[in-house]
């Protein structure tokens, strides 16, 4: 059975996608650790990131870098953190999280009832920041 990420990528269920190319997508997390929390997900459904082909893994990290730069401009965090855990969904993904302290990386503190309107606004803000950074063709 396809992962929820595969279903979002295929357009079967909605997602707040801020980046799409032929290798990966980036979307706003529906249970954010902090405002702007984004997932970078390869299109190919592979459970563990260590099983991704090196070129796909490298591309996802380059996209995470671009998303992180956009998050810095859009949300002005102290840092942008990266986490690869892989326990929630069996489809490799990188969490790119604007953070002001280490507590912002605590998955036990995720906002499980995030306001959909705020998530929409975050997605639009990130798309705008990505376009401003020269990524209009994918944002």
Structural domain for 62, as ranges = 4-107
The CATH number given to whatever domain includes residue 29 is 3.30.428.10
Please list the active-site residues: 93
Are 109 and 100 within 8 A, CB to CB?
no
As a whole number of angstroms, the distance between CA 47 and CA 104 comes to 25
Residue 70 is assigned to a structural domain of this protein: yes
pLDDT digits (tens, 9 = 90+) for 3-15: 999 999 999 999 9
Residue 69 is assigned to a structural domain of this protein: yes
Residue 131 is assigned to a structural domain of this protein: no
Residue 83 is assigned to a structural domain of this protein: yes
Domain count across the chain: 1
Residue 43 is assigned to a structural domain of this protein: yes
Tokens, residue 125: 């803000």
Residue 49 is assigned to a structural domain of this protein: yes
pTM for this entry: 0.96
What are 102-111's contacts with CB under 8 Å, separation 24+?
Answer: 104/33, 104/34, 105/33, 105/81, 106/33, 107/33, 109/33, 110/29, 110/31, 110/32, 110/33, 111/31, 111/32, 111/33
Are 34 and 71 within 8 A, CB to CB?
no
As a whole number of angstroms, the distance between CA 2 and CA 5 comes to 8
pLDDT digits (tens, 9 = 90+) for 22-42: 999 999 999 999 999 999 999
pLDDT digits (tens, 9 = 90+) for 35-89: 999 999 999 999 999 999 999 999 999 999 999 999 999 999 999 999 999 888 9
Q: What is the pLDDT of residue 47?
A: 97
């Amino acid at each position: 059975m396809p992962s929820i990420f595969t279903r979002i990528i295929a357009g079967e269920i909605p997602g707040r996608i801020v980046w799409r190319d032929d290798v990966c997508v980036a979307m706003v997390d529906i249970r954010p650790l902090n405002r702007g929390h984004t997932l970078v997900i390869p299109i190919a459904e592979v459970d563990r990131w260590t099983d991704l082909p090196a070129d796909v893994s490298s591309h996802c990290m380059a996209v995470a870098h671009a998303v992180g730069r956009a998050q810095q401009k859009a949300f002005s965090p102290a840092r942008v953190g990266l986490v690869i855990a892989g326990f929630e969904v069996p489809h490799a993904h990188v969490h790119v999280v604007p953070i002001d302290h280490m507590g912002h990386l605590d998955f036990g503190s995720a906002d499980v009832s995030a306001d959909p309107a705020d998530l929409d606004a975050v997605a639009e803000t990130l798309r705008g920041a990505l376009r401003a950074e020269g990524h209009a063709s994918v944002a």
